Chains A and B, each alone.
Chain A
Amino acid sequence: MKITFPHMGNVYIAAKFLLDGLGIDYVIPPLNNKEALEIGTLYSPEEICLPFKIMLGNYIQSIRQGADTVILTGSCGPCRFGEYGELQMKLLNKIGHNLDFIVFDMPSDIGFDELKRRIKKITDASPKKKHEKYMALMNAYKIITLIDDLEAKAHKLAGYEINKGDCKKILNECKKELLRTNNPKRAIEILKEYHIKMDNVQIEKNRNPLKVAIIGEIYTIIEPFSNLYIEDKLMELGVHSKRTLSPSWWFYNTVILSPFGLTAKKIRKSAKDYLPYGVGGHGQECIGESILAHEEGFDGAIQIFPLGCMPEIVSKSILPSVSRDKNFPILSLVVDEMTGEAGYQTRLEAFIDLLERRRNHVLSRS
């Protein structure tokens, strides 16, 4: 069994060390690029959302490197993500690739026995002892938390750094170095070293950078290729950005907290004046986060979602009311394989300008 998995932000780092720890053979698809998207678009239904297309490209690139099994998380929720696994399996089958898909779904949807059977499929392939398998899982969780935290730190400190580009450089170096080792323990050491490096970036504490929250559909905000590297762009513009949704957030809220009905409790509570019901995906969270960002003193929020994303269309139509009521600017960006970078960049720059001018205006009047 040679396992592969689709890209989504830093997930590949955690997945790599999990499989390293389990001693299972794997292929990491090449980091997302134009080619993956082109391949994916060629074989996907036209109207399907962008993540589907990129993921399909990932699989095909991995197949070329010998992968035969795909691990995927599932969802039987009211959004198209629920049918990704089935549809992708059928599409790959149709073009002559017979891949085994192992989809992790909620036990409430597929039952505990089925989930156990699916997990067993993977663990059976591992030659390790039971406690070693457990350790591999714990280490992978530690790693994803550390890398997500490091990234969040970089996005925050970029607004304060004295030497422009320091934070971005440290973050990129860290990711490169992680790929050079196969030892989860060593990976944790590396991450801790880079946390120290990041903490020691020269910063100007008194600077008051613009603060922007990134909200929207989870894949398109986490996977930098799909959002045309918006966080890198914000770092370059010296903006302090924040994104609540991350792989570790997802794992903690969806896997650990959901059996107790506690997923994203605070965020969902904040959304209740505008959207009291779950609409699938993270539509409700999107509204809640925009309100929280306003309460936390952020200057604005940017919503990103793939074209045709149902939950996010619902929240997009609600966001103007939030924006008006709270006097809080929100920019919505829609991405798909047709998105042109020039127009995207113009909107982003104009939005940052708008926030800056607003702030100067408010300050000059007070």
Chain B
Amino acid sequence: MYCLGVDVGSVSTDIVVIDENNNVIESLYLRTKGRPIKAILEGFKIIKEKVESKDIYAAGTTGSGRNIAAFLIGGDVVKNEITAHAVAALSIDKDVRTIIEIGGQDSKIITLNDGIITDFAMNTVCAAGTGSFLDRQAERLEIAIEEFGDYALRSENPVRIAGRCAVFAESDMIHKQQLGFSVEDIVGGLCEALVRNYLNNVGKGKEIKEKVFFQGGVAANKGMKRAFEKALNIEVVVPEHYNMMGAIGAAILARETVEKAGRTYFKGFEIAEENYVTASFECNGCPNMCEVAVLKCDNRIIGYFGDRCGKYSNKMAV
């Protein structure tokens, strides 16, 4: 029996199918492109060719689009990214003590002890050190994002870039380019600046102990891995499915839930054939003025989101 995990993030939508021993059977990495529903349905169309719906024992969702994804596919568990990432890392190595996770919009640190999360933090006021920022810089420098890390590794004298926040880092970087520094040294400096920013903002006050896992899309960047190792002076491990860890965690958690509940809500890959749209309106029922989103399938309402009092979201039967 297989379990399905869906991680709908800001940049990527990851779908994985795992077996009883948490081996990844199928994995898909799609760009969300601001349309989470479309990305999930597209992914389902591809997976449908390889895995049958009846083989799916449980389904779980995570990521910033976890709620809408759960409504769409019939998720058994809707989990936050922090728990999902920790669960996935622990399924690989029970001894992991620190998880550095950098995704599209957020960066996180998770500290563990004896296999349980003891502490975590997410970037607060500033977004620097996230995948979207690196993506944008690669584009501006006309380097493929996949090669970004190689450029950084070739750098001999990384430039010091002020990395308080993405906007300031970018303007300082441009200034350094105008002075004629090489692309390699700038890219290398950028990685170091992001690591500095991460350790000073996200990792502030947290003890970083071995083993350290580096997960999330940014872990593909070898320059970032090296910069972390240089700054921390310890080995940083990038797990095989570093960019799928959230989805793997969601799948494992879904299995645990279904084992307890005894049934799954998974709707099957066939939903890929249907038409889904989201509409929204502002509720004027009270001074809260919530923005309510409605998920519809061919004029049939699937779910409401965003109303604080539950006027709409409590009405529907899932």
Contact = CB atoms under 8 A, between A and B. Distances in A.
B289 A35 contact: yes
Contacts of A110: none
Contacts of A208: none
B186 to A, nearest CB: 30
A346 B117 contact: no
Chain A, interface SS category? helix
Contacts of B79: 349, 353
B82 A346 contact: yes
A363 to B, nearest CB: 12
A354 interface: yes
B287 A353 contact: no
Interface string A154-183: 000000000001000000100000000000
Interface residues of A, number: 29
A354 B289 contact: no
Which interface residue of A342, A343, A346 has the most chain B CB atoms within 10 A?
A: A346
A307 interface: yes
A159 B294 CA distance: 30
Contacts of B114: 361
Nearest to B63: A346
Interface in B17-65: 64
Contact of B82 (A34, A338, A350, A361): A350
A186 interface: no
A334 interface: yes
A20 interface: no
A347 B120 CA distance: 9
B80 interface: yes
Contacts of B120: 350-351, 354
A29 to B, nearest CB: 10
Contact of B308 (A165, A229, A346, A349): A229
Contact of B125 (A32, A33, A323, A334): A334
B80 A353 contact: yes
B288 A33 contact: yes
Given A31-B287, A33-B288, A33-B289, A353 B117 contact: yes
Contact of A307 (B81, B125, B286): B125
B283 to A, nearest CB: 12
Contacts of B115: 361
Given A30-B287, A346-B64, A350-B83, A361 B116 contact: yes
Interface in B259-318: 286-289, 308-310, 314
Interface string B61-100: 0001000000000000001111100000000000000000
Contacts of B288: 31, 33
A350 B106 contact: no
A302 B237 CA distance: 32
A232 interface: yes
A89 B109 CA distance: 44
Interface residues of B, number: 26
A120 interface: no
B200 to A, nearest CB: 14
A7 B40 CA distance: 43
Contacts of A347: 82, 122
Contacts of A320: 205
Contacts of A338: 125
Interface string B113-148: 011111110101100000000000000000000000
B287 A33 contact: yes
B115 to A, nearest CB: 7
B94 to A, nearest CB: 13
A32 to B, nearest CB: 8
B64 A342 contact: yes
B106 A353 contact: no
A227 to B, nearest CB: 13
Contacts of B119: 323, 329, 354
A338 to B, nearest CB: 8
A197 interface: no
B51 to A, nearest CB: 28
B106 A343 contact: yes
B80 A349 contact: yes
A357 interface: yes
B118 A329 contact: yes
Contacts of A353: 79-80, 82-83, 117
Contacts of A34: 289
A265 interface: no
A358 interface: yes
Which interface residue of A307, A343, A350, A354 has the most chain B CB atoms within 10 A?
A: A350
Contact of A357 (B64, B116, B124): B116
A80 B83 CA distance: 38
Contacts of B106: 343
A354 B117 contact: yes
B304 to A, nearest CB: 15
Nearest to B110: A350
Contact of B80 (A30, A323, A346): A346
Given A165-B310, A354-B82, 15 more contacts: A35-B289, A232-B308, A307-B125, A329-B119, A334-B125, A338-B125, A346-B122, A347-B82, A347-B122, A349-B83, A350-B81, A354-B116, A354-B119, A358-B118, A361-B115
10 contacts: A31-B288, A32-B287, A33-B289, A35-B289, A346-B82, A349-B79, A350-B80, A351-B120, A358-B118, A361-B115
5 closest A-B pairs by CB: A350-B82, A349-B80, A31-B287, A353-B83, A350-B80
